[in-house]
Chains A and B, each alone.
Chain A
Amino acid sequence: MANSGTQSLAQTDQVEVSGWDENEVFFVERSELGWDEYAGKHVTLTRMLSEGSIIFVRPIQPTATHRANPIAYEAEFVGCSPEGNHQFRLNGVQPRHSRESYTVN
């Protein structure tokens, strides 16, 4: 089967970022996922987000057999780039759970 072979392809850290901007307008942007020890995971977007916004980051993988799922992050504004873009640190989001649960009626 052709898929079993491996070929070295140029890999990118391209991601698709979607969510709602500070004007509560839905957006989809392509960006690059960066990582460093100081800022952790971060992305640069052309638009500003509200404080504590949840954004969804989906890796764009040209050779993946399945479409990657979007992962939710809380976006924390870090600063503006010289080009006027906005950089955000991506903080992991933990789903809330109730302390007790009963069988649903």
Chain B
Amino acid sequence: MSHASLSLPRLNNFRVRSFHSIERVPLSEDSPLQDLRFRCLSKRARMENLFGTAFASLWDMAYATYKSVAVSPIQSSLTPCIFDDDPNERDSLAHLITDMGYEPVSTPDAEEALRLIRMGRCRVVFAGTHLEKPDPFDFLDRALRCDPGVNVMIMTAQYTLEGALEAIRRGAADFLPMPLDHVRLKRTLDDLAALYDQRRRVRSLEEQLLKDLEFHGIVGKSPAMLEVFDFTRKVARHYTNVLLVGQTGSGKELVARAIHQISPVGQHRLAVCNCSAMVDTLLESQLFGHVRGAFTGATDTRPGLFEYANGGTVFLDEVGETSLAMQAKLLRVIQNREIQRVGSPEVKQVNVRLIAATNRDLRAEVLSGRFREDLFYRLSSIQIRIPSLAERLEDIPLLVQFFLKKYNDSYGKNISGLTRRAQTVLLQHPWPGNVRELENVISTACITATGDFIDISDLPEHLQHRTPRLAGDEEWRPLSLDDVRKVHIQKVLQMCNGNRLRAAQILGIGRTSLYRYLKRDGYDVRPHSAGAAA
């Protein structure tokens, strides 16, 4: 309620216009709020003598109104907990903190204090150390286990520098000597209130940012992802085949859906086919359809995905897993725009845009003879590479927020975020399963967490105990360059089934150079019929 909105009665020709004058009273710098309260109460007593109890109750109402507006929302949202078994100390501190504009809760019971922390009601706790406990830091340890972000201020009459350092080392926010320095206490509380307010504002800005940075269900602010979004927008407008390359779980299907939605055929159908999930015969039936009696179990005639999505888009996921025979059939669709249902002699015309995706290096697959070169060139007229999550770690906080929102809604939770140490764990993980793995981690944590924040203990168990390491370094050994070259050549030769010409092409060296290296490494380089390398 604002001051101006108060309707005040006329009393003995004394019209109280507003209570702004209370604010205009010059205050002492040491303890402005205490000073103000004292002046208000003195004025109330004087006014009660002059105008009677009617004015006194009006004064009380005015003072309550003033307090409600003088205490900023920042201060009122910070609820300090006072945990002390000495009732005098507790009440005195409670009054002091109230005068500073905060609304404390006080308790002599450790379990009650811990419950308030666990529920997220109190983020600041003042704990007295003269409590009868064997270990004065026992409460601190338990409080930090309940909420690693809680600020525990330990108050002690026996202040020592060693004690203060030990308390801070164990996670205390401050170690305050008794009697408390009021100015320092107020500054500490105000700083914390400002910090929480800042975090709230950051969260709110991040929510807005999330909306702005979401691109058809894909979230990212890293330069690599912004480049993908930009290229996708440009490519989508043109009716051409697209090849999406990226590790499993990096979001290829989402990009394919985005391309379809933005494209001129966005209002038509999109069919998604995962080529790795099916054997050849089933895949052929799914893509091209079949007629009744074409194979055992074909009890009726059914169209395939190409017919279903005629005029729209077909997304072929994991196209690198298809057999050479299936690749020939796909090439026919691209070249001639025609399909044939399994078991039918009839050729049908279709007009579909093909988006293919793979987690393999298709160029290397072509060179090793496992993928048709003509199909590769037809599919890869436009190629978009989706970066792995390890390449865009800066997107993790945004993705976490996105998945938190999603699973808060699904599971009926109200989780605000992750603790700092949980965030650190996520940033140190190599993410072999990419965004899919991150989504599963957040989903699991949302199921497990009971508080407002996800902590390490809510993450899947293997993440809780994992030693931080960098991506890709698990097999690293300090080898010489010659050894690295030797191992690499052997791996490429194995991949090419011993075909030296293809291996040399992949390695980017001439065949003669490959022979020279093999000879140097002690391999038999004489030509042989089987085509084996060594």
A interface, CB within 8 angstroms of B: 1-3, 7-10, 12, 14, 16, 18-20, 24-28, 30, 54, 56, 60-65, 67, 69-70, 72, 93-98, 100-105
Contact flags B424-458 to A (C-beta < 8 A → 1, else 0): 00000000110011011001101111111000000
B449 touches A10 (CB 8 A): no
Which of A18, A95, A96 has most B Cβ within 10 Å?
A95
With A20-B460, A96-B450, A97-B450 in contact, is A9–B268 under 8 Å at CB?
A: no
A104 touches B414 (CB 8 A): yes
A-B contact count (CB 8 A): 126
Question: A25 — nearest CB in chain B belongs to which residue?
Answer: B432
With A54-B447, A62-B286, A101-B414 in contact, is A18–B433 under 8 Å at CB?
A: yes
Decide if B178 is an interface residue (CB 8 Å cutoff).
no
Contact of A18 among B79, B257, B436, B462 (CB under 8 A): B436
Contact of A67 among B118, B119, B122, B257 (CB under 8 A): B257
- Chain A interface: which of B235-243, B304-312, B392-400? B304-312
Alpha-carbon distance A18/B460, docked complex (angstroms): 14
Alpha-carbon distance A20/B78, docked complex (angstroms): 40
Alpha-carbon distance A96/B450, docked complex (angstroms): 6
Decide if B413 is an interface residue (CB 8 Å cutoff).
yes
Alpha-carbon distance A28/B440, docked complex (angstroms): 11
Alpha-carbon distance A55/B142, docked complex (angstroms): 32
The smallest beta-carbon distance between B74 and chain A, in angstroms, is 11
Q: How many residues on B have C-beta within 8 angstroms of the other chain's C-beta atoms?
A: 65
A98 touches B450 (CB 8 A): yes
With A63-B269, A98-B451 in contact, is A105–B440 under 8 Å at CB?
A: no
Decide if B196 is an interface residue (CB 8 Å cutoff).
yes
B416 touches A104 (CB 8 A): yes
Contact of B412 among A10, A26, A56, A95 (CB under 8 A): A95
A67 touches B254 (CB 8 A): yes
B interface, CB within 8 angstroms of A: 77-79, 118-123, 196, 217, 248-249, 253-254, 257, 267-274, 276-278, 285-286, 290, 300, 302-305, 307-308, 310-312, 406, 410-414, 416, 432-433, 436-437, 439-440, 443-444, 446-452, 460-462
A28 touches B267 (CB 8 A): no
Known: A2-B267, A2-B310, A26-B432. 16 other contacts (CB 8 A): A7-B308, A8-B302, A10-B285, A18-B433, A18-B440, A26-B433, A60-B272, A62-B272, A63-B271, A63-B272, A67-B254, A96-B447, A96-B450, A100-B119, A104-B416, A105-B121
A14 touches B120 (CB 8 A): no
A9 touches B302 (CB 8 A): yes
B274 touches A14 (CB 8 A): yes
With A28-B248, A62-B286, A104-B120 in contact, is A20–B462 under 8 Å at CB?
A: yes
B443 touches A70 (CB 8 A): yes
Contacts of B119 in A (CB 8 A): 98, 100-102
A96 touches B449 (CB 8 A): yes
**Would you mind naming 9 contact pairs between A and B with Cβ atoms under 8 Å apart?**
A2-B312, A18-B249, A18-B440, A93-B447, A96-B447, A98-B118, A98-B451, A102-B121, A105-B121
Contacts of A98 in B (CB 8 A): 118-119, 450-451
Contact of B276 among A12, A30, A63 (CB under 8 A): A30
Alpha-carbon distance A96/B447, docked complex (angstroms): 6
Alpha-carbon distance A30/B304, docked complex (angstroms): 21
Contacts of B303 in A (CB 8 A): 7-9
A105 touches B248 (CB 8 A): no
Contacts of B412 in A (CB 8 A): 95, 97
Question: B310 — nearest CB in chain A belongs to which residue?
Answer: A2
Contacts of B411 in A (CB 8 A): 95
Alpha-carbon distance A56/B269, docked complex (angstroms): 27
Question: B446 — nearest CB in chain A belongs to which residue?
Answer: A95
A28 touches B249 (CB 8 A): yes
Question: A31 — nearest CB in chain B belongs to which residue?
Answer: B277
A56 touches B443 (CB 8 A): yes
Question: B120 — nearest CB in chain A belongs to which residue?
Answer: A104
Contacts of B461 in A (CB 8 A): 24
Which of A7, A54, A69, A98 has most B Cβ within 10 Å?
A98
Contacts of B304 in A (CB 8 A): 9
Question: B413 — nearest CB in chain A belongs to which residue?
Answer: A95
Which of B78, B271, B276, B290 has most A Cβ within 10 Å?
B271
B77 touches A54 (CB 8 A): no
Contacts of B196 in A (CB 8 A): 105
Question: B447 — nearest CB in chain A belongs to which residue?
Answer: A95
The smallest beta-carbon distance between A96 and chain B, in angstroms, is 5
Contact of B253 among A10, A67, A95, A103 (CB under 8 A): A67
The smallest beta-carbon distance between B71 and chain A, in angstroms, is 15
With A9-B302, A10-B302, A60-B274 in contact, is A72–B444 under 8 Å at CB?
A: yes
Contacts of A7 in B (CB 8 A): 303, 307-308
Question: A50 — nearest CB in chain B belongs to which residue?
Answer: B461
Alpha-carbon distance A15/B123, docked complex (angstroms): 44
Which of A1, A61, A96 has most B Cβ within 10 Å?
A96
Alpha-carbon distance A7/B308, docked complex (angstroms): 7
A24 touches B447 (CB 8 A): no
A65 touches B270 (CB 8 A): yes
Alpha-carbon distance A26/B449, docked complex (angstroms): 21
With A7-B303, A67-B253 in contact, is A105–B462 under 8 Å at CB?
A: no
